[in-house]
Amino acid sequence: MTMDVLQLILRFFVAYGYVFLFLATALENIPVVGIFLPGEVIVVAAGFFAASGEFELPIVIAIACFGALLGTIASYAIGFWGGRRMIEIIAVKMRADGNRIKDADAYFSTHGPMTVFVGRYMTGVKAFIPALAGAHRMAFGRFLFFASLGIVSWTVIAGVLGFFFGAHWETLIGIVKTAGWLLLLLVVILIAIIWYRRRQRETRSSKDT
């Protein structure tokens, strides 16, 4: 990210104010659309803008949380109403057995809350995790609770970092993005370990019978 990107975002803030912040944080949580709207950049920039006195930091955090929450609920709904059928079609085309979908359902039943919470901090996939949670029928109440925890905590951190350290824009965004990718890698490794151990238990169980 360059200073030119920061200047472009700040121009949008000048022109559209909090409306731009709300729309950007909502849309960045919609699958596919979110790829083109890096929320960590926008919220950090809004915090930096608040430091100049143009915005109020508490209002920035509140609007960003509200926008992100609406977008996250929309993502869950997309997964719930359309994602399940898409997953089943893909599974059939890839000739995957039904246990794969059942494994994913079981994963979100057991580890869904932590995945939804931590997913807010992961670069590149935050818009897709709510859709997957919906597709795999994670209980909406549990989803909403842990999604809200992730949204509020992440938004506060990003806004505060932008407010106090936004002058070091490129370094700050580099650190935020790197941390997000590392966290994503860690979660992928953990999921792989969980899947591998479950398969081992199933193999031992089938041999015993």
Give 62-113 pLDDT, tens digit per residue. 999 999 999 999 989 988 887 666 655 544 444 444 555 565 666 677 777 8
Distance CA 180, CA 123 (A): 5
| Cβ neighbours for 148, distance < 8 A, ≥ 6 positions apart | 69
Model-level pTM? Answer: 0.75
Q: What is the pLDDT of residue 22?
A: 94
Looking at every residue in the chain, the average pLDDT score rounds to 78
Find the helix or strand (DSSP H, E) in which 120 lies. Answer: none
Who has greater pLDDT, 142 or 188?
Answer: 142
- Domain of 149 in residue numbering reads as 3-208
If 0-12 CB within 10 Å is exposed, 13-18 middle and 19+ buried, where does residue 29 land? buried
* Percent helix, strand and coil across the chain, each to the nearest 5: 85, 0, 15
> 135 is written with which tokens?
């597709």
Q: What is the pLDDT of residues 143-178, one digit of tens each?
A: 999 999 999 999 999 899 888 886 666 677 777 767
Higher pLDDT, 14 or 191: 14
Domain count, the chain: 1
Is the pLDDT assigned to residue 17 strictly greater than 60?
Answer: yes
Q: Answer yes or no: are the C-beta atoms of 43 and 159 closer than 8 Å.
A: yes
CA distance readout (Å), 161 to 40, 86, 168, 174, 199: 11, 39, 10, 13, 42
Angle CA 24–28–32, to nearest 5: 135
User: What is the pLDDT, as a whole number, of residue 90?
Assistant: 47
